[in-house]
A and B are shown apart, each in its own frame.
Chain A
């Protein structure tokens, strides 16, 4: 899968996450800004990378501004970001979404 255009999802409300997803430089690069980066930075980055991998996206630049979101929230925001970035907002990839 390929990112067709940059998208911005989520909000800066407490317990939410705002993600900007755009084309990368030949790999996946994640930048994270979070008050809980020391405690949960690795987990947040892993969730982001997992979703990209499940969509088969190998080239992406992801800016994550986290406001204490739980993994389920980060995952949901990432799925929305990818579906829109690949121009398939109404064509959900169920095998990713049904992931438990």
Chain B
């Protein structure tokens, strides 16, 4: 069958993987069954401390064919993943499914080694970049990788599509029974949002920490009811590489222009009302949007009920100023926001299910008014690709893109071209977020409203500083600058599947020669 953008998804593949094809972003009114973990009881009195990672792995009984997981809250500063995976490889365990919340560059070499050694034969992740993306795109794995959004992963864990046998979770602070948080210790990252799913649903949970504190450790995001073993390691992560240090405000005139226009779209829309909510994300342009939006809120005397998503210090400042009443925090991108979660009552840690799971009894994205998101590529049907680069190679992550895009007003903010690569194209290489989720594209040369939102276009017509155009015009303008690229040469082999947040199959990624 063909999906929304005419990408061919073979019926045989659907049959093999058990996927239903994507039919639309609406979540149907139905019932689902959640799975629970198998809990090992009776021998956990006293300390759960293990002398080494090796001993902990032995204690869990990890064996061939099981599923293991990690979180990526340490991002490029992660030390835990390598320590655990190298030990598992040394023990000769084979045929594991690797199911982390995402994979960062610092993990790439270990993953590639583990695949080559047969230790890992299946991967599901939010995304991957660099050498690992190249490895998979060039056919390095026999089984296709499955990419899921953060909300989609939470759903998959709850519904049993991902059954984690052992979760290895690095934490900056824990006691010997497993009461742990991400806000205290040497390598703090703030919210444990993605890891909370693993802690709750894995059959066995091993915590690794470099800061063992007196029992009982509070605040406890992960608590002892969920933890089987605790191991101390010399260092869980490099604090300087976990997030950016001081958040810098961009001086790039192009980014500032885009940010001003994004803000004009928000303030010109009906979503800009007292008590509205937003997710603006990280990155230079997003922080600039935050600043412009804050000024518009002061000028209009409007405050927001909540800010969502990956949190940065400027958002915490809005909370302190009273412009934002609550922060719902699934992940923190810098030290300031990571540390403040411990002190700020209004900065609430949320797990990935609460954030964005489409199949629970209420996720925050359902109540999100405004989302500002990026794109590697957006096509004339407003479909977005944040997964494969201009050469077709995997180099991205779904993250919360599909999830946040269900907001009432979803704005894609992107430069028209990056270097010689056009952002606006005729058809995206990989469909990650369907165009039906996207309302507006803002580039530095013009703003295109999805034709399916005529009332929004009407409303934005005449807003000062908003050059409205249509998306085909933007595509033509981009191509007139960079020239028409040679088509991407994909092979026949399926190297990865892209799920929609509800578990249906959106697209397949083929190998690159």
Listed in ascending order, the chain A residues whose CB lies under 8 Å from chain B are 14-15, 36, 38-43, 67-71
Let me know if A68 and B419 touch, CB within 8 A. Answer: yes
User: Is B489's CB within 8 Å of the partner chain A?
Assistant: yes
Chain B min CB distance to A48 (Å): 14
Taken together as a complex, chains A and B put the C-alpha atoms of A36 and B421 apart, in Å, by 8
Let me know if B483 and A40 touch, CB within 8 A. Answer: yes
Which of B481, B486, B488, B489 contacts A40, CB < 8 Å?
Answer: B486
Let me know if A39 and B486 touch, CB within 8 A. Answer: yes
Chain B min CB distance to A30 (Å): 17
Hey, which chain B residues are within 8 Å of A38, CB to CB?
391, 486, 488-489
Taken together as a complex, chains A and B put the C-alpha atoms of A40 and B391 apart, in Å, by 11
Let me know if A43 and B419 touch, CB within 8 A. Answer: no
Let me know if B419 and A39 touch, CB within 8 A. Answer: no
Let me know if A70 and B485 touch, CB within 8 A. Answer: no
Hey, which chain B residues are within 8 Å of A39, CB to CB?
390-391, 420-421, 485-486, 488
Determine the residue in chain A with the shortest Cβ distance to B392.
A38
Chain A min CB distance to B204 (Å): 44
A42 touching B419 in the complex, CB below 8 Å, given contacts A36-B390, A70-B481: no
Chain B min CB distance to A41 (Å): 8
Chain B min CB distance to A13 (Å): 11
Determine the residue in chain B with the shortest Cβ distance to A71.
B483
User: Is B117's CB within 8 Å of the partner chain A?
Assistant: no
A-B contact count (CB 8 A): 38
Taken together as a complex, chains A and B put the C-alpha atoms of A40 and B18 apart, in Å, by 39
Determine the residue in chain B with the shortest Cβ distance to A69.
B420
Chain B min CB distance to A3 (Å): 28
| Number of B residues with CB within 8 Å of any CB on chain A | 12
User: Is B482's CB within 8 Å of the partner chain A?
Assistant: yes
A70 touching B420 in the complex, CB below 8 Å, given contacts A36-B390, A38-B391, A39-B391: yes
Let me know if B486 and A42 touch, CB within 8 A. Answer: yes
A-B complex: 10 closest residue pairs judged by Cβ atoms: A68-B419, A39-B485, A68-B420, A38-B391, A36-B420, A43-B483, A39-B486, A15-B419, A39-B390, A40-B420
Determine the residue in chain A with the shortest Cβ distance to B512.
A38
Show 14 A/B contacts (Cβ-Cβ < 8 Å), sorted by A.
A14-B419, A36-B390, A36-B485, A38-B486, A38-B488, A38-B489, A39-B391, A39-B486, A40-B483, A40-B485, A42-B486, A67-B419, A68-B419, A68-B420
Determine the residue in chain A with the shortest Cβ distance to B391.
A38
Chain B min CB distance to A16 (Å): 10
Chain B min CB distance to A50 (Å): 14
Taken together as a complex, chains A and B put the C-alpha atoms of A70 and B489 apart, in Å, by 22
Hey, which chain A residues are within 8 Å of B482, CB to CB?
40, 70
9 new A-B contacts, CB < 8 A, other than A36-B390, A39-B488, A68-B419, are A15-B420, A36-B391, A36-B419, A36-B421, A39-B485, A39-B486, A40-B420, A43-B483, A71-B483
